[in-house]
């Protein structure tokens, strides 16, 4: 069941045509760099299926499936299986695992051609390989469909905002506006917690600035925990509907805003400001507004600092004028956006489960004697 690649494959170092990304054209033959198939060239180097292995760099060991007429670029190594013994897609599933390769080097890791040739793989009979590929393809298709559906669900929210409120650049003219400061009922910076005061077992979750996404969400999948005093728990507890504003970060990331939808009682980092508002404005509406080009431009105008270290001060944020449509319209938007985000969040879970299923299948298949067992279940 096991074999070395050299036993049934031929090989070619990538980039022998001396082409680079500077030679890319709008249409032509697929070109594979160390990052994968990321462009086209006017010349075809090969006309056979192969696995293109990224051989140098931080992502070395990533593998890509090439077929038809195609060309390789530098920093790749091409593996051509004997298709009478190995299904190329089966081999790709097996080789496309960065952690499974023997690597050399430190600052610039690489895979030696000799280690590629001696790489051991599981090689059951060809028909069994094809049955395994069908199982793995089904798992990949579940993941792809769930990923596509969640992307579409989240894409509807900006379209819904535009449909309900109109062009973001003319919202103040259309609906009237208010100074941001006059809408804020509560503002509070988070708690300072060094790394040694963060753990997996603390009393409460500790939301850090990396939890705020660039599209207005707050993700808790990388949540650390910390201990708090009763006073800190009372003053800094988050609740659904809080707006979290990232006050310090790099120039590109400072000013991220996210609507918190997690459980109550988590606390937050000192680089985050928790904002709550009076009954004239919905936090969901403001969050969506600040994701628009007009909202982003207002945030960009108040960034202070350098490229690497940047801050936004409340005294500047307070002066921003924001649109103020009728509250019932804001609330209607918030309810629909919440339903869409709930769908997308459920699809996030589906994608995670599909990825775990695919990883478990791959791990099981590519054990020494596991391929035949999976075939029996396929």
Sequence ranges of the domains in the chain: 2-123, 124-153+327-378, 177-323
- One CATH from 2.70.150.10, 3.40.50.300, 3.90.220.20, 3.40.640.10 for 2-123: 3.90.220.20
Candidates 353, 321, 309; CA nearest to 177 is 321
Pairing of strands 204-207, 267-268: parallel
Tens digits of residue pLDDT in 60-94: 999 999 999 999 999 999 999 999 999 999 999 99
Tens digits of residue pLDDT in 336-373: 999 999 998 888 887 788 778 777 877 777 764 433 33
* Same fold for the pair 2-123 and 177-323: yes
Cα 76 from Cα 102, distance rounded (Å): 15
Cα 368 from Cα 136, distance rounded (Å): 17
Which CATH code for domain 177-323?
3.90.220.20
Q: pTM for this one?
A: 0.72
Start-to-end CA distance of the chain, whole Å, equals 18
Q: What is the mean pLDDT of each run of 10 residues along the chain (378 residues)?
A: 94 96 96 96 97 93 97 97 97 92 90 96 93 88 86 92 95 96 98 95 96 95 95 97 97 96 95 97 97 96 89 97 97 95 86 78 64 41
Model pLDDT, residue 373:
38
Measured CA to CA in angstroms, residue 280 lies from 68, 151, 276, 332 at distances of: 61, 31, 11, 14
């Amino acid at each position: 069941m096991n074999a070395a690649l050299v036993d049934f494959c031929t090989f070619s170092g990538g980039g022998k045509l001396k082409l680079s990304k500077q030679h890319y054209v709008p249409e032509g033959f697929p070109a594979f760099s160390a990052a994968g198939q990321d462009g086209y060239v006017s010349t075809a180097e090969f006309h056979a299926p192969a696995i293109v292995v990224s051989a140098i760099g931080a992502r070395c060991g990533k593998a890509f499936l090439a077929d038809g007429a195609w060309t390789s670029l530098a920093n790749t190594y091409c593996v051509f299986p004997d298709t009478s013994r190995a299904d190329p897609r089966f081999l790709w599933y097996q080789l496309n695992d960065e952690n499974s390769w023997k690597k050399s080097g430190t600052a610039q890791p690489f895979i030696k051609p000799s280690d590629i040739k001696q790489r051991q793989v599981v090689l059951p009979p060809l028909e069994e390989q094809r049955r395994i590929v069908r199982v793995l393809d089904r798992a990949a298709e579940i993941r792809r469909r769930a990923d596509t559906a969640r992307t579409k669900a989240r894409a509807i929210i900006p379209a819904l905002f535009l449909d309900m409120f109109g062009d973001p650049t003319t919202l103040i003219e259309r609906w009237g506006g208010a100074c941001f400061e006059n809408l804020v009922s509560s503002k509070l910076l988070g708690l300072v917690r060094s790394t040694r005061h963060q753990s997996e077992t603390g009393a409460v979750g500790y939301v850090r600035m990396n939890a705020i996404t660039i599209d207005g969400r707050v993700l808790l999948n990388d949540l650390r925990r910390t201990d708090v005093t009763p006073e800190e728990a009372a003053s800094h507890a988050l609740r659904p509907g809080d707006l979290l504003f990232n006050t310090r970060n790099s120039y590109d990331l400072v000013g991220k805003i996210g609507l918190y939808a997690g459980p109550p009682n988590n606390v937050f980092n000192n680089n985050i400001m928790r904002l709550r508002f009076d009954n004239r404005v919905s936090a969901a509406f403001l969050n969506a507004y600040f994701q628009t080009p007009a909202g982003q431009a207002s945030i960009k105008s108040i960034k202070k600092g350098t490229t690497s270290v940047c801050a936004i001060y409340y005294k500047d944020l307070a002066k921003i004028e924001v649109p103020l449509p009728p509250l019932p319209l804001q609330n209607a938007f918030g309810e629909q956006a919440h339903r869409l985000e709930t769908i997308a969040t459920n699809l996030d879970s589906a994608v995670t489960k599909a990825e775990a299923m695919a990883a478990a299948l791959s791990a099981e298949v590519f054990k020494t004697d596991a391929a035949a067992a999976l075939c029996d279940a396929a």
